[in-house]
Chain A
Amino acid sequence: MSDLAALAGRAIEATLAAGAGDAEAYASEEAGREIRVHGGKVESLTAATQSGVGVRAWIGGRVGYAYGTDSSEPGIAALAARAAEAANVADEDEFAAAPQADGAAPALDGLSDPSLAQWPAGDAAELALTVERAALATDSRVVGVEQAVYVDSADRVAIASSTGVAGSYESSTCYAYLQALAESGEGRETGLGFGLARGPAGLDPEAIGREGAERAVAMIGAGKPASRSCPVVLDPTVAASFIGLIGGALAASAVQRGRSPFAERLGAEVASDVLVLHDDGLDPAGLGSAPFDGEGVPRRRTALIEDGNLQAFLYDTYTARRGDAASTGSAGRGGYRSLPSVATSNLTVAAGGHSFEQLLGEAGDGIYVTDVAGLHSGVNPVTGVFSVGASGQTISGGALAEPVREFTIASDLVSMLRAVRAAGASARWVPFGGSVLTPELLVGEMTVSGS
């Protein structure tokens, strides 16, 4: 770790020497594996490390950023010069300033599974092969697996600034997924199964394979539902995608620039009181957790929606200064290549008291949506109005009826939150929409466009 911290320290010195008034460096190193299997064979095995450093330079209220892979003395000098140059191109912004350290971030246990390093590639490949076999064994209509993939990564991060920020941590992540193919007379159906954990011991390959198979088989013979307005039950993967969009719209950066349907709604009623939403950056089970955020500010737990009311927005240092608020430790970072910006850590939706059967019963006649597509193109981020492709099963007389596909569901984010009538009893971690822990949600009304 000291090597990364030392690298960050050298980068700060060089950036100050290049003319910056303040500087921050973020250095990371990842060692990871990716194994893809297909047809009982390992298709590819990747083992690699990658490391790099990103530097933010402040010259007055101007900010510039540079990143690179060259950590040699001249490499760091060139990086520092590029960061300072970038700052000189930017315009003054009175709210731009380096984060101040307000005490060391507390350590956070449980982010790293030390057993990861002890898993040989052969065992990891066997895990992926088991995922594939489990899918094929689940149902004779599963004719193949497009791919089964195992990925793990052990990461180290160090961050430091000329304003006293200094911290580092280690974490590990591990996941496996597959896309199962089921066949009927009419064509092929696909089904996704996945699991995530801190290490391979936390994955259940049989369950992952079975989930993919069951999802694919459930879609066999799907038709189009009739166009109408009706209750919709969102499964956790679909609920997570929408919750992720809502989390993004609660970023102060979107709110301050008038690009959020939640702007001007702080303290107002925005949801039914069934829907309780938090951003939790400290739960070790959430892969978005860390002792501090992408600019060294301690992570925390922030209530976003409670009692149906909008409780808070998410802030990084810049938006906090601009909004006269405190940072919520929500500076996200996509690695050393990216400037920090406001992002969710882990979004958690409180589980309710309804079993799945009770949710269906309460929906009566409607649609159970198990997959959505086109979220990046079908949602207006400013107004929250959306229309996205979907597939799933019809609900008839309070029970699942026929599989359906090739339809859209439409509403807007706030109307959807207000229409949430019930939440399922058990929540699940989903890697869509960021990192989200959510149960099924029953939405009272959505527009369905089908035949």
Chain B
Amino acid sequence: MSEPAQLIDAAVAERVLARALAAGGEFAEVFAERRGGLTMSIDESRIESVQSGAEEGAGVRVVSGGTTYFAHVDGLDPDDIERAAAEAASALRGDRAEPRPLRAVATEPVPIERRPEQVPAGRKAELLRELDERGRSQGGEISQFSASYGEARREITVANSDGLFTSDDRTRVRLGTQAVARRGDVVETGFETLGAHRGFELLEDDPALIAEQAAGKALILLDADPTPAGSMPVVVGGGFGGVLFHEMTGHGLEADHIQKGASVYVGKLGEQVAQPLLTAYDDGRLPNEWGSDAIDDEGTPTQKTRLIEDGKLTAFLYDRLCAERDGVASTGNGRRESFRHLPIPRMTNTYIAPGDAEPEAMIAEVQQGFYAVSFAGGQVDPATGDFVFGVSEGYLIEGGKVTSPCRGATLVGNCLDALAAIDAVGNDFWMKTGMCGKGGQKAPVGTGQGHVRIAAMTVGGTAV
């Protein structure tokens, strides 16, 4: 494995940090980044939207008296970065503070076997054609198919006034597919994705399977009935079903929400918030997982944080500033979309640990309920705890059996109620990829779980 590149020299970083603290401040940091990527898609069986990007820049922040001053520049020219430091410090009027001498900390970036930028672009287009063919071959009712390929590399170097000087090199690859099935006036859509913090080797083992899966979902929905509305037991599928926990609990445990009183989990640390069968983690170190990084965007090593243990709330997710406010250590969750953004507490890979229930038995115990296999996405207001999820694949459960597919289902509820109502956790488990938005910043996150059952939840549908 190769050491990640240092995007700026230690001498430059020291000069920038000294400039940033020239008018006072408790903490200063320079974050340098080089980012590049390639995306392309296939639609109407034609390769299009081929886009290649290359950006470089640095952000400098100074923290003084609880206020963060931040400036960023394009490019990595040392003089420009120093000017950004001066700009960030321009509102300060205090006495010079001295940054500590830098000491380099080695990181072990997530291993990449086959660098995607070394794979010819034509091979990626070929891959999309394979997906297209596979998706369209699932049946004459597949009326449209599209797929996208994306690769992104982020090299970062972080230096701060506490003397930390470290770098990371991250490469992510992701495929997405969308199939549309049509029968007369009925039109349904199926999605599937495959992504990882990995190189092109991710795509060596039948990546076109996701095209088949997306098409399969769309075809199943052609036979769907409108979803009945009401409160009922809900069994949530594994993998991306974990977005439920991500939204209804994960966001509320991010320390910035907690510190502003804008979370329903304020004051709940150590309390029983779920039944003892539930244990959950945020883990930025899962090998090659979509939300994994060696270090966060403040240079703190990522870690496995137990959020809930046997139903008790055990931890919040911290970046550096929030951790300092609470007098604890950062949990390595300080993430930023780019050098143009400030770090904030974010999830990495968040999941409910496998339980001991058999998924079949969890369904068999439900007389009348809903089976939400996967979601199109979800949203929560951490302050009130109100959440909503769009179900992308769902079925009725009748007499302990999964029966007819349903279209247009939405789950709504409140975090604390829904979390406490989880009454079974399956012994199966897998992870899926997601893109999480918070404060105008996007971050790749992993979500996971086995089957999970919620005793009662409001299912919103189009049928009364």
Which A residues contact B (CB, under 8 angstroms)?
38, 41-52, 63-70, 78-79, 82-83, 85-91, 93, 121-122, 143-144, 146-147, 179, 181, 187-190, 219, 224, 227-229, 257-259, 337-339, 373-374, 376-383, 385-389, 391, 405-408, 410-411, 447, 449-451
Contact = CB atoms under 8 A, between A and B. Distances in A.
B384 A46 contact: no
A219 B386 CA distance: 12
A228 B464 contact: yes
Contacts of A387: 227, 390, 408-410, 460-462
Contacts, number: 258
A447 to B, nearest CB: 6
A67 B389 CA distance: 35
B384 to A, nearest CB: 6
Nearest to B262: A146
A449 B462 CA distance: 8
Given A45-B70, A374-B388, A377-B376, A91 B464 contact: no
Nearest to B227: A387
A376 B72 contact: no
Interface stretch (B38-46, B203-211, B447-455): B38-46
Q: Max chain B CB contacts within 10 Å: which of A181, A339, A410? A: A410
A50 B390 CA distance: 36
A82 B388 contact: no
Chief secondary structure at chain A's binding surface? strand
Interface string B227-253: 101110000000000000000000000
Contacts of A389: 379, 386-388, 410, 412, 460
Contacts of B193: none
A407 B386 CA distance: 10
Interface of B: 38, 40, 43-44, 46-57, 66-75, 84, 87-88, 90-91, 121-122, 124-125, 143-144, 180, 187-189, 227, 229-231, 257, 260-262, 264, 340, 342, 375-379, 381, 383-390, 392, 407-410, 412-414, 458-464
B18 to A, nearest CB: 20
Given A52-B74, A69-B75, A86-B52, 6 more contacts: A45-B69, A47-B71, A68-B53, A376-B376, A378-B388, A449-B410
Contacts of A189: 383-384
B53 A450 contact: no
Contact of B342 (A46, A339, A405): A46
Contacts of B55: 52, 67-69
A385 B49 contact: no
A128 to B, nearest CB: 12
Given A259-B144, A337-B53, A121 B121 contact: no
A67 B144 CA distance: 30
Contacts of A373: 379, 381, 386-388
A227 B464 contact: yes
A386 B261 CA distance: 33
A60 to B, nearest CB: 14
B303 to A, nearest CB: 25
A228 B57 CA distance: 54
Given A377-B390, A406-B414, A449 B460 contact: yes
Contacts of A79: 54
B410 A378 contact: yes
A388 B410 contact: yes
Given A91-B47, A387-B409, A377 B264 contact: no
Given A257-B43, A449-B459, A82 B54 contact: yes
